[in-house]
Chain A
Amino acid sequence: MRQGGGRVVAAMSGGVDSTVAAALLVREGREVIGVTLQLQSCDEATTERSCCSAAATSRAGAVADSLGIPHYVLDFRKEFENEVLRHTWSEYSRGRTPNPCVICNERIKFGLLHDFARSVGAGTIATGHYARIENRRGSVSLLRGVFGPKDQSYFLFSVADSRLSSVVFPVGSLSKDRVRAISKELGFVEKALESQDACFAVKGKSYSEILRRRFDAHAIPGDFIGPGMAVVGSHDGIHKFTVGQGRKLGIALGERCWVKSIDPETGSVYITTDSADLLSRGLTASIVKWSGGGIDGALECSVQVRYRQAPVRARIEHQGQGLVRVEFQNPIRAVAPGQAAVFYDGDRVLGGGWIESSF
Chain B
Amino acid sequence: MGKIYFDNNATTRLDARVFEEMLPFLRDNYGNPSSLHSFGREARRALDNARCNAANLIGAEPDEIVFTSGGTEADNQAIMGIADLIGSPGGRIITSAIEHQAVLNSCRHLQKRGFSTTFLPVDYEGRIKPADLEDTLGGDVILVSIMYANNETGSIQPVEEAAAIARSRGAIFHCDAVQAAGRIRIDVRKLGVDLLSLSSHKINGPKGSGALFVRRGIQAPVLLHGGHHEQRRRAGTENVASIVGFGEACRLAGQRLDETAGNCRMLRDRLEKAIMEEVQPAIINGSRENRLPNTLNVSFPGVDGQFLAINLDLMGIAVSTGSACHAESREPSYVLKAMGRSDDEASSCIRFSLGGENTVDEVDAVILALKEFVGSLRTA
Contact = CB atoms under 8 A, between A and B. Distances in A.
Interface stretch (B8-16, B122-130, B217-225, B304-312): B304-312
B313 interface: yes
Nearest to A33: B314
Interface residues of B, number: 15
Interface string A56-90: 00000000000000101111111000000000000
Contact of B328 (A73, A115, A120): A73
Interface residues of A, number: 16
Interface string B352-380: 00000000000000000000100011001
A294 B372 CA distance: 43
Nearest to B311: A120
A70 B376 CA distance: 22
16 contacts: A33-B314, A72-B310, A73-B328, A75-B306, A75-B328, A75-B330, A75-B331, A77-B330, A115-B380, A116-B307, A119-B304, A119-B307, A119-B376, A119-B377, A120-B310, A120-B314
Interface of B: 304, 306-307, 310-311, 313-314, 328-331, 372, 376-377, 380
Given A119-B307, A120-B311, 12 more contacts: A33-B314, A70-B314, A74-B330, A75-B330, A75-B331, A76-B330, A77-B330, A78-B330, A118-B380, A119-B311, A119-B376, A120-B314
Contacts of B313: 70
Contacts of B314: 33, 70, 120
Contacts of B304: 119
A132 to B, nearest CB: 28
Contacts of A115: 380
Contacts of A74: 306, 330
Interface of A: 2, 33, 38, 70, 72-78, 115-116, 118-120
Contacts of A73: 328
A3 to B, nearest CB: 9
Nearest to A79: B330
A72 B310 CA distance: 8
Given A70-B313, A75-B331, A2 B372 contact: yes
Nearest to B309: A72
Contacts of A70: 313-314
B313, B314, B372, B377 — most chain A CB neighbours (10 Å): B314
B376 A2 contact: yes
Nearest to A77: B330
A216 to B, nearest CB: 21
